[in-house]
A and B are shown apart, each in its own frame.
Chain A
Amino acid sequence: MTTQAVPVTPSDPSPKAAVVDIFVTFLIIGATSFGGGVVAYLRNALVNQKKWLDDQHFLELMSISNTLPGLNATNMSILAGDRIGGTLGSIAAMVGMCLPGFIFMTIAGILYGVPGDRVLVTAALRGVAAAAVGLLAATWWQIGKKSVKGFYDGFFILAAVVMVNYFKLSVPIALLAVGALSIFAHRPAPAHPPEKESEWIRFLR
C-alpha cells in the first residue's frame, strides 16, 4: 500500500455503529446544517463526537468526494456511511442527510405556489436572491483562494468561464474540453524525469 491513510476495509464485517444510530446522526446534521457548510458539521459529528472516523480518514473521503459529480454533503454521507456501517449504513446516512432538506424544500415549493401578497413575497425573494449571490461568491472565493495554484489553474478557470458565459457553450462541453486539458496539464510526472524537462513539469504543477 502507499503512505496514505490505510482505509478501513469497505466490506468491514463488523460495522462500527448500528444503522439506526447512523441514520439518526445524519438526520440531525441534515436538519441542523443551515446555510451550507455541511462538511464542517459532518466532521464535527463523525470525527470529534462519535469518533467513527479519524481526521486523516475524513480528508481522504473528502478527496474522493471532490473528484466525483454530486454534492459534497451527499457524497460524504454515502462514503462515510459505507465506512461506518457498510451498504445499509451508506443508505441510512444518505437518506438521513437528505430527508429534512427535502421536506423543507417541498413545503417551500408548495408555499411558493400559494397565491397571496405577491408584491411583498417577490420583493423578499429578490433580496434573498441578491444575498445568495453574495453568499455563493464568498464560498467560491474561499475555495479558490485555497486551491488555485499558479498561472495554469487561473487559465483553466478563465477558460471555463469564457466558454460557458461568452461563447454560450453548454456546461458538459466546457467540462469535457477544459477538464481534459487541465487533467493533462496536471498529468503524473514520469518516474524518472529527464533533467531538461523536470523544470517544465514542475512549472505545470
Chain B
Amino acid sequence: MDQIPAIARVFAYLSLLTIGGGMAAYPEMKSLVVGTHHWLTDEQVIHIYSVGQMAPGPNMMMVAAMGDRIAGFAGAVVAALAFFVPTGVLTFAVGRAWNRLANWPWRASIQNGLAPVAIGLAVAGLLTFGRGSITGWVTAALGLVVFAATIKTKINPALLILGGAAVGAIALR
C-alpha cells in the first residue's frame, strides 16, 4: 500500500515517453520497475508485457496487471489512471487547440521529425525486450514465424500470441 504514490509517479512518468507507442517506454519501464524499485523481476515484466499483447483495447493496459502485482487492486487502478489520464488530458487540450496549430509551420516539422525517433525508440525497446525473451532457437524460430505470419497474412495477432503459448507449453518446459 505504501507503494501507491511511487506507482503513480512511475507510471505517469512512463506514459510521457510513449511517443508513437508503448514500446518506446519499455527500457525505462524495465529499469524503474525491476531496477530502481525492485517491484518485479525482469522475467515477470516480460511475462506481463507479453500477455498484455493479448488484451483487447490499448496494448499497454498491462500496466494494470503490474500495478496489481505490486499493490493489489488499488495498485492496478492507480497504475492505469497514472498511465492514461495525464497524457489523455494533454491530448484533449492539444486537440482543442488544433485549429490554431494547423497553421503553425513547425507542426509538420514536429510530426515528421518525431516519426523516425518514435521508430528508433520502439526498436530500442524491442531489442531490450527481445534480449530477455529470445533465449534459444525455439523462441527465435517462434518469433520469426509470428513476424512472417503478421506481415504476410491477415491472421488475428491475438491468435498468434495464443499459438505462442501453446508452442511454449509444449516445447519450452
Pairwise interchain contact B142-A69, C-beta atoms closer than 8 A: no
Interface membership of B91, Cβ < 8 A: yes
Which residue, B47, B156, B173, has most C-beta atoms of chain A within 10 A? B47
Closest to B121 in A: A160
Contact with B along A175-188 (1 / 0, CB 8 A): 10011001111111
A128-B50 CB under 8 A given contacts A66-B111, A69-B19, A109-B67: yes
Q: How far is the CA of A179 from the CA of B50 in the complex (A)?
A: 28
A residues in contact with B144, CB < 8 Å: 134
Helix, strand, loop or mixed for chain A's interface?
helix
Closest to A189 in B: B105
Contact with B along A38-78 (1 / 0, CB 8 A): 10000000000000000000001101111111111111001
Residues of A within 8 A of B (CB): 1-2, 4, 7, 9-11, 29-38, 60-61, 63-75, 78-79, 82-83, 87, 90, 94, 97-98, 100-102, 104-106, 108-110, 112-113, 119-120, 122-144, 147-148, 152-154, 156-161, 163-165, 170-172, 174-175, 178-179, 182-188, 205
Contact with A along B28-71 (1 / 0, CB 8 A): 10010000000000001011111111111111111111111100
Residues of B within 8 A of A (CB): 15-25, 27-28, 31, 44, 46-69, 73, 76, 80, 84, 87-88, 90-92, 94-96, 98-99, 102-103, 105-130, 132-135, 138-140, 142-151, 156-161, 163-173
A172-B17 CB under 8 A given contacts A75-B91, A134-B143, A183-B113: yes
Pairwise interchain contact A156-B139, C-beta atoms closer than 8 A: no
Taking a contact as CB atoms closer than 8 A, the residue among B28, B95, B161 that contacts A131 in the complex is B161
Closest to A9 in B: B99
Q: How far is the CA of A110 from the CA of B171 in the complex (A)?
A: 26
A residues in contact with B105, CB < 8 Å: 188
User: 14 A-B residue contacts at CB 8 Å?
Assistant: A7-B99, A34-B156, A67-B114, A69-B18, A82-B96, A94-B84, A100-B56, A108-B51, A109-B69, A131-B143, A134-B147, A142-B151, A164-B121, A182-B117
Pairwise interchain contact A71-B51, C-beta atoms closer than 8 A: no
Pairwise interchain contact B157-A35, C-beta atoms closer than 8 A: yes
B residues in contact with A9, CB < 8 Å: 99
Closest to A147 in B: B115
Taking a contact as CB atoms closer than 8 A, the residue among A34, A140, A184 that contacts B119 in the complex is A140
Taking a contact as CB atoms closer than 8 A, the residue among A31, A66, A109 that contacts B57 in the complex is A31
Pairwise interchain contact A130-B57, C-beta atoms closer than 8 A: no
Q: How far is the CA of A183 from the CA of B161 in the complex (A)?
A: 36
B residues in contact with A33, CB < 8 Å: 56-57
